[in-house]
């Protein structure tokens, strides 16, 4: 199922387009006094996880070797190199989701999914990341780092940076973790799959954006710790877009930092759970709405009858009133159950999770308990969103072929194959993009702005 997924514009090029080439290499620090103080206090955040060969490193590596969906070529590697390959697999298949864009019917991470950027014919294709000699990834490790940190496109004939690839997120990963991903990609079975050429050369984007050497994506600019170890909690504390909560004890701060590292450099919760995800000038994360949901996703047509979903809206996670993590029955156990079962385990009967959260949860379900707990601690610790951004979000629109697929009293909209007709008093009670017309939920109009906004 995963192999057919082609998300359009996860980092829409319009977002990066506005970056221009003007982002300064070293923006001025505007770190407030209180933030500087907290940064002092986080020097206590242990970095025991950071050393290659440390126990956490080994645990992640072992899990990574277990969850790789393809056999790996590791027979000629040293023990240390093999550990690194395992860690890379842990990231690619667990704490991040490279396969969601880079896997295709041709094979695991073999590329070839189109991402349409507009209606004018601009399109890019996810690349073949396997080591196939003629059609696979030919980047050196140094070039791979440059791709991940600056968006530079090394493909022949390409003078513009990568525009769909979420390198603006991945750039915050440490050297150790980027090395591990590269080692894993090198150990993959080669898949011969020629990816079509991109059409993006006349877009208004630069060739790359230099790595800023400080975290400047959020509310507060912060120095990045010099240390470049794996799954670094200190790095995670530095790359949290919102101000740091002040009331965390040492252990929780470590967990918060680790969760932030995964959420903000690998899994990119912000990309989907903040709408829009970046400010109008696209330089920074839209922190006033951070993790309050509301992004609409169109389920790819071939998946609709299988998933029984047509359209979804990302959940409000951090709203003070309507946020999932502020609901009275919120707990780590509930979050864990939702991720592990890929369903709304807190409803009866439990609905399957909506697209593409089902894919994200499918990966997160494979990570170590310690790391899943850290993600929970982090999101829990993010300051709540208040004001107009804190809104309840619509449930996903359910696919149907006939009224028998819908609840009693509903009908099936022939035009859009979605269940309609539920009794309502307001739009929010209806499914994604539907409206409440004369006390009944109606399918979105042909010119619906909500549908047009769908990714």
Residue 19 touching ligand HEC (CB under 6 A): no
Helix (H) or strand (E) holding 312: strand 309-313
Tokens of 446: 């042909």
**What x-and-dash track marks residues 30-69 binding ligand HEC by CB under 6 A?**
----------------------------------------
Are the C-beta atoms of residues 381 and 245 closer than 8 Å to each other? Answer: yes
Pick the binder of ligand HEC from 16, 205, 338, 412 (CB under 6 A). Answer: 338
Residue 102 touching ligand HEC (CB under 6 A): yes
Q: Which residues have a Cβ under 8 Å from the Cβ of 280 and sit 6 or more positions away?
A: 18
Residue 285 touching ligand HEC (CB under 6 A): no
- The string of DSSP letters for 192-247 reads --PPPPPB-TTSS--S-----SEE-SSSS-EEPPS---TT-HHHHHHT-SSPPPS-
Structure letter (DSSP) for residue 366: T
Quick one: 47 or 358, whose CB is closer to ligand HEC? Answer: 358
Pick the binder of ligand HEC from 273, 278, 318, 336 (CB under 6 A). Answer: 273
Are the C-beta atoms of residues 150 and 21 closer than 8 Å to each other? Answer: no
Q: Which residue has the tokens 């695991």?
A: 108
Pick the binder of ligand HEC from 132, 177, 217, 271 (CB under 6 A). Answer: 271
Dist. CA 310–CA 259, nearest whole Å:
31
Q: Which residues have a Cβ under 8 Å from the Cβ of 273 and sit 6 or more positions away?
A: 291, 292, 293, 295, 314, 315, 317
Q: Tell how far CA 86 is from the center of its chain.
A: 21
Residue 322 touching ligand HEC (CB under 6 A): no
Quick one: 10 or 57, whose CB is closer to ligand HEC? Answer: 10
Residue 269 touching ligand HEC (CB under 6 A): yes
* Residues 156 to 215 in contact with ligand HEC, rule: CB under 6 A: 162-166, 170, 181, 198
Range in contact with ligand HEC (rule: CB under 6 A) among 40-48, 52-60, 89-97, 217-225: 89-97
Residues in the chain, how many?
455
Tokens of 370: 């310690």
Number of residues in contact with ligand HEC under rule CB under 6 A:
52
User: Cα dihedral sign for 194, 115, 304, 317?
Assistant: positive
Pick the binder of ligand HEC from 86, 354, 421, 444 (CB under 6 A). Answer: 354
Kindly list the residues in this chain that would bind ligand HEC in the complex (CB under 6 A): 7, 10, 92, 96-98, 100-102, 115, 124, 126-127, 129, 137, 139, 144, 147, 154-155, 162-166, 170, 181, 198, 263, 267-269, 271-273, 297, 312, 314-315, 317, 324, 335, 338, 344, 353-354, 356-357, 360, 375, 379, 396
């Amino acid at each position: 199922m995963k192999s057919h997924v082609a998300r359009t514009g996860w980092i829409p090029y319009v977002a990066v387009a506005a970056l221009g080439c003007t982002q300064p290499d070293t923006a001025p620090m505007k770190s407030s006094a209180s933030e500087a103080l907290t940064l002092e206090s986080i020097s206590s955040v242990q970095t025991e996880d950071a050393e290659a060969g440390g126990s956490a490193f080994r645990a992640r590596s072992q899990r990574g070797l277990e969850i790789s969906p393809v056999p790996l070529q590791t027979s000629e590697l040293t023990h240390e190199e093999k550990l690194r390959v395992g860690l890379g697999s842990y990231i690619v298949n667990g704490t991040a989701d490279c396969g969601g864009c880079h896997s295709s019917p041709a094979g695991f991470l073999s590329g070839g999914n189109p991402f349409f950027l507009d209606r004018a014919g601009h399109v890019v294709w996810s690349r073949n990341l396997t080591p196939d000699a003629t059609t696979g990834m030919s980047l050196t490790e140094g070039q791979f780092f440059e791709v991940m940190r600056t968006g530079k496109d090394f493909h022949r004939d390409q003078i513009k940076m990568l525009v769909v690839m979420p390198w603006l997120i991945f750039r915050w990963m440490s050297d150790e973790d980027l090395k591990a991903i590269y080692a894993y990609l090198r150990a993959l079975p080669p898949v011969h799959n020629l990816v079509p050429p991109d059409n993006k050369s006349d877009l208004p984007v630069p060739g790359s954006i230099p790595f800023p050497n400080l975290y400047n994506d959020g509310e507060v600019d912060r120095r990045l710790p010099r240390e470049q170890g794996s799954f670094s909690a200190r790095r995670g504390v530095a790359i949290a877009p919102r101000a740091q909560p002040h009331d965390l004890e040492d252990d929780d701060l470590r967990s918060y930092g680790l969760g932030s590292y995964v959420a903000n450099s690998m899994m990119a919760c912000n990309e989907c759970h903040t709408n829009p995800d970046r400010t109008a000038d696209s330089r920074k994360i839209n922190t006033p709405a951070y993790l309050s949901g509301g992004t609409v996703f169109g389920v790819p047509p071939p998946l609709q009858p299988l998933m029984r979903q047509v359209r979804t809206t990302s959940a409000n996670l951090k709203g003070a009133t309507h946020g999932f993590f502020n609901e009275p029955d919120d707990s780590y156990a509930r979050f864990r159950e939702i991720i592990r079962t890929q369903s709304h385990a807190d409803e009866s009967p439990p609905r399957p999770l909506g697209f593409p959260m089902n894919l994200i949860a499918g990966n997160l379900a494979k990570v170590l308990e310690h790391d899943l707990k850290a993600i929970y601690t982090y999101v829990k610790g993010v300051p709540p969103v208040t004001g107009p951004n804190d809104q309840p979000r619509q449930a996903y629109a359910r696919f149907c072929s006939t009224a028998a697929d819908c609840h009693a009293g509903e009908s099936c909209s022939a035009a859009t194959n979605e269940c309609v007709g539920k009794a309502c008093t307001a739009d929010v009670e209806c499914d994604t993009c539907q409206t409440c017309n004369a006390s009944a939920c109606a399918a979105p109009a042909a010119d619906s702005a909500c549908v047009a906004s769908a990714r």
